[in-house]
Amino acid sequence: MQEINHAGAGGLWAELVSNRGFESGGLHAPSIIKPWSIIGDESSIKVSTDLSSCFERNKVALRMEVLCDSDGSVVCAAGGVGVYNPGYWGMNIEQGKTYKVVFYVRSSGSINLSVSFTSSDGEEVLATKNIVADASNVTNWTRMEVMLESNSSNTNSRLQITTPKKGVIWFDQVSAMPTDTYKGHGFRKDLFEKLSLLEPRFIRFPGGCFVEGEFLRNAFRWKETVGPWEERPGHFGDYEPCSFLYLFLLWHLLWEGPQRKQNSNLAEDLGAAPVWVINNGISHQESVETADILPFVQEMLDSIEFARGDSFSTWGSKRAAMGHPEPFDLKYVAIGNEDCGKPYYHAYPDIQVISNCDGSSRPLDHPADLYDFHIYTSANDMFSKTHRFDNTMRNGPKAFVSEYAVTDRKDAGTGSLLAALAEAAFLIGIERNSDVVEMASYAPLFVNVNDRRWNPDAIVFNSSDVYGTPSYWMQHFFTKSSGATLLNSTVQGNSSALLVASAISWKNVTDNKNYITIKIVNFGNSYVNLKMNIDFDRTSLQLTGLKKTVLTSPSVLDENSLENPTKVVPLSSGFQMSSDDHTYVMLDPHSLTSFDLL
């Protein structure tokens, strides 16, 4: 999962404020305060940025000079003057829910502030609290915290801080978070749930190109992302070049924020193995000389120590201080992203090292346990790639297909059934070649509809709603593939060229029973009648239930949308066996069908 399309900031991470430290223009003043805006006209308020913050690594602060007063020559408008933040295209504030607002403030005089959630035009107040403090209490930077309970709902709200009182006030690190995040861990519940339904077995982070950066100066630097949230300098991502991402570090392993609870991290919450991708001294535009690679190697080794070192090690002790004394189960490290041909190194022999060179066509010229394989292509090509791994060497490093998707715009739209079917055929090919392909993940995972930097994606959302594309639902058909046993299966008949199928058996850990799942993609536009012969071990399979699940739609280019989120979703029904060992089935045109024998 990479920070792209606001997957994290403005997505899974439930922080509502965008540009909370006023650093989106960089670590200098004047900086850019966007999307913050000013409430009041020039005669009543002046807003600028300076470098007076108490946070050494985030020096930019907002300076608000209020020229009006309740009884001065310039009288403040009703409600006062101040600033507001619309979050990431509107904050979703829900009736009866409580939000924690934290900010830092300083002033030479006393302060009288209103902290409120309002509608996007400021007309309707959803929740508000007053903060009054004497000058002596705010001469130095002071942390303020208010809990706001909303009295109504609005998916396009804003946070505002206003005052009716003349004076100069500085603000910094303004955060607003719902208190009902997933387990209180700071993840937006609806997005976390959508993700967890895919039952991911691993999570690859932080990229993708995000790891590399356009230039090395904006390559991902993990050490900048540990420590108190107010001190983390953020990151100019590859896909959000103008925004300053406050993505908590290594958040997939461990994150700190105003809402943080001990031990909260995405990998463990998902029950997924972390796959840590490190920068290998290469950006899109530059690469360091081999002689200068040592600092990058050290950074990688330090990151592994952070994840796995004991509480007495330099970096392990920092992890322990962040609330996670026990080491993480880090078993995979990927070196670089899409920049094959550069040096490799090997340490921590029990860690699986993932090369970013394609080892499927010819042997790697360097040691690696796995090789990264990316494929973005048209639907027809992806469908044909069901055979991509049929002839790869069986004794070299295994493939880690960390990015696959149909991206051809005419086939994929913003996430079509056609794309999902072609990808299903590709995944069935992977299933059939699981001796040489260890892991696979669709990419990218998330997109905020308000800022699509990459298309298509699996999970689409705005401030309040979320849906899965057909490619997202297609992945549900494969949640049992990991650890399953591939069974011999063949498809014979006239239309077999457009059919791709597999059969697996798997053990359900909850009831300890064996199940068989048969999946068939019909890539053609006609119905297909099939006779399914099933030769199974009746002692281990009880045939207590037969379930058929179909992903299809009237048009192969059909998509889901915020307005119609369930147009293309799997539908399940029962089915009958014709006899003990075979049955006749009808496949819909352009469909993915699974048959579960329980």
Q: Could you list the residues that contact ligand AHR (CB under 6 A)?
A: 2, 4, 207-209, 337-338, 374, 403, 443-444, 454
Quote the least distance from Cβ 39 to ligand AHR, whole Å: 38
With CA atoms as reference, report the closest residue to 4 among 429, 451, 417, 407. 451
- Which CB sits closer to ligand AHR, 274 or 444? 444
Containing 466, the helix (H) or strand (E) segment is strand 466-468
Q: Is the backbone of residue 462 left (phi > 0), alpha (psi -120 to 50) or beta?
A: beta
Distance in angstroms (rounded) separating the CA atoms of residues 125 and 115: 10
Distance in angstroms (rounded) separating the CA atoms of residues 294 and 291: 7
Determine contact, residues 458/406, Cβ cutoff 8 Å.
Answer: no
- Which CB sits closer to ligand AHR, 441 or 505? 441
The CA-atom distances, in angstroms, between 356 and each of 202, 237, 259, 367 are: 17, 20, 36, 12
Quote the least distance from Cβ 407 to ligand AHR, whole Å: 9
- Which CB sits closer to ligand AHR, 2 or 58? 2
State residue 592 phi and psi, 5-degree precision.
-120, 125
DSSP state, residue 12? T
- Which CB sits closer to ligand AHR, 356 or 481? 356
Quote the least distance from Cβ 458 to ligand AHR, whole Å: 11
Quote the least distance from Cβ 385 to ligand AHR, whole Å: 17
**Which residue is closest to ligand AHR by CB?**
208
- Which CB sits closer to ligand AHR, 99 or 373? 373
Quote the least distance from Cβ 139 to ligand AHR, whole Å: 47
Quote the least distance from Cβ 300 to ligand AHR, whole Å: 18
The CA-atom distances, in angstroms, between 433 and each of 360, 397, 589 are: 12, 13, 26
- Which CB sits closer to ligand AHR, 21 or 444? 444
**What is the residue whose two structure tokens read 């009543």?**
44
Distance in angstroms (rounded) separating the CA atoms of residues 231 and 219: 19
Quote the least distance from Cβ 427 to ligand AHR, whole Å: 17
- Which CB sits closer to ligand AHR, 211 or 266? 211
- Which CB sits closer to ligand AHR, 236 or 454? 454
- Which CB sits closer to ligand AHR, 172 or 372? 372
Name the 3-class secondary structure at 302: helix
DSSP state, residue 30? S
Determine contact, residues 360/304, Cβ cutoff 8 Å.
Answer: no
Distance in angstroms (rounded) separating the CA atoms of residues 252 and 323: 14
- Which CB sits closer to ligand AHR, 4 or 127? 4
Quote the least distance from Cβ 372 to ligand AHR, whole Å: 9
Q: Where are the beta strands (DSSP E) in 73-191?
A: 81-85, 91-93, 98-107, 111-118, 125-133, 142-149, 154-163, 167-178
Quote the least distance from Cβ 376 to ligand AHR, whole Å: 7
Quote the least distance from Cβ 373 to ligand AHR, whole Å: 11
- Pairing status of strand 61-66 against strand 45-50: antiparallel
Q: Which residues, at least 6 apart from 487, have a Cβ–Cβ distance to it below 8 Å? A: 503, 504, 505, 516
Q: How many CA atoms lie within 13 A of 5 on its CB side?
A: 22
Quote the least distance from Cβ 401 to ligand AHR, whole Å: 12
- Which CB sits closer to ligand AHR, 40 or 444? 444
Quote the least distance from Cβ 9 to ligand AHR, whole Å: 16
Distance in angstroms (rounded) separating the CA atoms of residues 28 and 36: 17
Query: Considering Cα of 293, then 297, then 298, then 303, what sign does the dihedral take?
Result: positive
Name the 3-class secondary structure at 470: helix
